[in-house]
A and B are shown apart, each in its own frame.
Chain A
Amino acid sequence: MSIILDKDSKILVQGFTGSQGTFHSKQCIDYGTQIVAGVTPGRGGQTHLDRPVFNTVHDAVRNTGAFVSMILVPAPFAADSIMEAVDGGCSVVICITEGIPVLDMAKVKRYIQQIERSGREITLIGPNCPGVITPGQCKLGIMPGFIHKPGRIGVVSRSGTLTYEAVDQLTKLGLGQSTVVGIGGDPINGSSHADILAKFEEDEGTDAVVMIGEIGGSGEEEAARFFKDKMSKPVFGFIAGKSAPEGRRMGHAGAIVEGGAGTHASKIQAMREAGITVVENLSEIGETVAKSFKPLAA
């Protein structure tokens, strides 16, 4: 079991024939991911990486039955691509693209909310994220597949390489992962920490969750509230950015402490009060999980 993706996920890639699209799609295919189609406007009818290319998401979905989209389209066009994926019938959209204007994402959120009111359920992951991987089954994103190992720990994070660091620690201690989700580092994104915690709580294949956050916003505080009210599985939390100064953006558009909100201290406090096990030292995430949580055989 897993969340969001498994071995049966049929996937199309938007921006399939670009250099990024080609490189990362190939890595995913080599991992065993079922990429069944690509979308690049104007290149419909061609074949790329042994997969058919379509002009539109609609055509790709109709002809291949894909219901998941991975987006590797340049930032100025990415918001439109997300809406095209949803309009074309995809229920899961994973947007890797970095640098999408926040206002564009505000409009995308409204668009998805409107579609969801008609009864469809949409899961948008990202943008500005490494993607999602269910180890041993499906890798959809830019993360290195080999550091992961199938297992029963869920991981959710706002950052890419920080997630790899945590996953690597887990894997080296024999703790495999059910699914690893990068929700992205932007101020407005598709899924929140709490949204992913809810999925892990329901997943029979997940026994515990590692939640990696960073300064800025209130996503971790909301996740802590969700944990307290609705969650039975243990959660281990780490927040990056304790030593970051206020008012300065730390790489990610979302990683900024403004007007005293979104501080490291407030997130740590919210997690502690909710009963989440807080890990202070990044290099001890794996050990802490291993110590306090004895995993069942994967």
Chain B
Amino acid sequence: MKLLEHEGKEILKARGVAVPPAGGVITKTAQLGAAMKRAGKAPWVIKAQVLAGGRGKAGGIKLAKTPKEAKEIAAKMIGMNLVTHQTHGQAIKVKEVFVEGGVKIEREMYFSVVMDRKNAGPVIIASAQGGMEIETLAEEHPEQIIRMPVDPNVGLRDFAARRLAFQLDIPATHTGEFVKTTKALVKAFIDLDCSMLEINPLILTPKGVAALDCKMTTDDNASYRHAELAKYKDHEATALENEAKKSDISYVGLDGTIGCMVNGAGLAMGTMDTIALAGGSPANFLDVGGGANEERVTKALNIILKDKKVKAILINIFGGIVKCDMIAAGVVAALKKIKLKVPLVVRLQGTNVEAGKAILKNSGLPIIAADGLWEAAQKAVAAAKGN
């Protein structure tokens, strides 16, 4: 799960990392005055709370020197459509902004911890060049990036944090604070099962070290052991995705017209790709899971049909542990409850495939059957085009 900046900062502050004085999150300009008061004296920083990086350049972070200026900025920012280099050309609507007190910046650095697959553990990525996008930095100045693996059983040791301080040329006056802060950041990463914790920039202030921004992503597999994260919402998931999750269905909405229901994540992706190769476009990724039964199939169909873009549905099941006849019975039962207005293509393969096909055929329902995956994809594409 990805956390918003203000949520991540709240967590870090409680763990001993200095952050700018928080004025809180507001959704209306009427709340601005109180937020500014909480944040302290001028200047203030007003920041759009969206999950994409690159907000600064896109106009999602502004400095206000006077209350009047702050009001103008907030009025403009709330409700604005933000397009950054990380939103892939799409605009994200800003629903809330975070008000912070300004801090004096002496130096900006880049600091992050990521779960690195290759090293099979956390790795610190740091650079004396702060504020820049790390992707750009990695391309233009790879020599300025420091990578330091961390033992997940230990965290960041003092000497390693000190070494990092020397590599980043931290002045002696700030080394102690830097060591304390980076150790706390790594500890937060490990304690909370993060997959990414990015502070860009991590800054030196006249007094110490502070996190000026925070991007935190946590591991969904570990959420059972983090009661403290339960209060944060998944901002990325749509209502449909959350609904699917409750039924143990893995669903991701896409832009196309062919709704997919598949068992297994890999085959679900493979089915989407096959639809695309056949000239269509998938409306979603949907994995009904290993324990698919009538209830799950009904739920999945309902979710697919809530997407009004869907013009045809393709069910692709490879029966292993899941038996095709059970899925077929589930589809038939579901169709008795749901009035299907779009064509449905079903491709069954694997365990009890013949029994499954017979159930579909004998149901009298207008189901388009297919044997092979390619045939199924072509039929779904044709059906979505109204052929």
Chain A positions within 8 Å of B, measured between CB atoms, are: 23-24, 75-76, 99-107, 109-110, 130, 142-144, 146-147, 157-165, 168, 185, 187-188, 212, 214-215, 217-219, 238, 240-255, 259-260, 280-284
Contact = CB atoms under 8 A, between A and B. Distances in A.
A216 to B, nearest CB: 8
B341 interface: no
B270 A165 contact: yes
The 4 closest A-B pairs by CB, nearest first: A159-B266, A251-B265, A161-B264, A162-B266
Nearest to B378: A283
Contact of A217 (B117, B269, B318): B117
Contacts of B274: 281-283
Contacts of A110: 120-121, 151-153
Interface in B109-147: 115, 117-118, 120-122, 134-135
A250 B285 contact: yes
A159 B267 contact: yes
A81 to B, nearest CB: 16
Nearest to A185: B265
Interface in B252-296: 252, 254, 262-277, 281-282, 285, 287, 290
Nearest to B317: A161
B272 A106 contact: no
Contacts of B104: none
Given A102-B221, A110-B152, A251 B287 contact: yes
A284 B274 CA distance: 10
B72 interface: no
Which residue of B152, B190, B377 has the most chain A CB atoms within 10 A of its CB atom? Answer: B152
Contact of B276 (A188, A238, A242): A242
Contacts of A188: 115, 117, 120-121
27 contacts: A75-B221, A103-B152, A103-B219, A105-B120, A110-B121, A142-B290, A142-B320, A142-B321, A158-B266, A160-B320, A161-B262, A162-B266, A164-B267, A168-B318, A188-B117, A240-B266, A240-B267, A241-B273, A243-B254, A243-B272, A243-B276, A245-B88, A250-B265, A253-B219, A254-B117, A255-B265, A281-B277
A107 B262 CA distance: 33
Contacts of B252: 245, 248-250
B200 interface: no
A283 B271 CA distance: 9
Given A250-B269, A259-B135, A161 B318 contact: yes
Given A164-B350, A245-B254, A106 B152 contact: yes
Contact of B277 (A103, A217, A254, A280): A280
A160 B272 contact: no
Contact of A218 (B118, B224, B265, B285): B118
A260 B265 contact: no
Contacts of A161: 262-264, 266-267, 318, 320
Contacts of B267: 159-162, 164-165, 240
Nearest to A262: B117
A147 B319 CA distance: 10
